[in-house]
Every structure is written in C-alpha cells, then in structure tokens.
Amino acid sequence: MGDVLLTHDSATTTGGSGTSAGIGFYELSTSNQQLYIKYGSGSYASNYWRMLGKVNSTTNPTVITLRAEWSDPHTEGAGALGPDGAASTGDEGYGNDYIDGTMTLNARRYQPDASGSGFSFAAPTDSMGSITGS
C-alpha cells in the first residue's frame, strides 16, 4: 500500500500505487470525501482500501477526521475455490471469501519544523477511533 500523505492540495502515496481524488486539506468539506483509493488485482479486483476525509468547519477548520475503509464486495459463492484459491483441495466448504489475514493501519502526523523561521506551531492532539466491521 505504501504511505498516503494528505497535503494542502492533494492526497499522494509513497511506495505504493492507487488513485488520488486530487483533494487536499483546502478542498475538504464537512462531509466525508474520498481522498484516495487502491483496488486489488486479479481475482481481488473488486476489493479496495480507501481514505476519506472531512473537517469540522470550512470557514475555521480545527478538526480533520480521516476514515479508512477496507471493502471486499465479492459475492459469497460467486466462485468455486476455497481459501487457498485451488480447486479440489478440500477447503471449498469454507466458502470462497474466507478471510484469514491481518490488516494494519498505521497513522502518524508530521509536525512543521519552524526552527529559525520566527514561527511557532502548537502540537495538535490526535487520536485513533474505533474499528468496526462485519
């Protein structure tokens, strides 16, 4: 996946691939907007990970909320293969959408370096919300 960076005018990636919506901090609204999306490939082409973002106010934003979504919209039973992806190996009874991996999301912020510039920046607070799924 790489790192997705939200800047003042876009969301970009380093070390990965995907599609930016061309929206950065200055274009955020008070409703979630898609900033970045990465689709799977091959049999997993319908799967995706995306980042959404919004601010608490467009006139004086003080809170940025980022939301990450993982999606596996593949219809259960649409294929004949089990979790190992190979036919006739005895695992077809588990269904073809058996998930057995670990998903990790690391978030960090970059504090501006104002040393020697005459500016000072108070460190913002940050927090990780809850993880939900079904």
More confident residue, 107 or 96: 107
Output 65-73 pairs: Cβ under 8 A, ≥24 positions apart: 65/32, 66/6, 66/35, 66/107, 67/32, 68/105, 70/103, 70/133, 71/47, 72/46, 72/47, 72/97, 72/99, 73/46, 73/47
Q: Give me the sheet containing 33-39, strands edge to edge.
A: 19-20, 33-39, 48-55, 64-71
Q: How far apart are CA 46 and CA 3, in angstroms?
A: 21
| Angle (CA) 34 74 33, round 5° | 5
pLDDT number for residue 52: 93
pLDDT number for residue 130: 64
pLDDT number for residue 132: 61
Q: How far apart are CA 24 and CA 66, in angstroms?
A: 12
More confident residue, 10 or 31: 31
DSSP state of 118: T
Give the tens place of pLDDT for each residue, 42-99: 877 888 889 999 999 999 998 899 998 888 776 555 555 555 555 555 545 545 555 5
Predicted TM-score (pTM) of the model is 0.70
Q: How far apart are CA 63 and CA 53, in angstroms?
A: 11
More confident residue, 67 or 125: 67
Query: Which residue ranges make up each domain of the chain?
Result: 3-72
pLDDT number for residue 55: 95
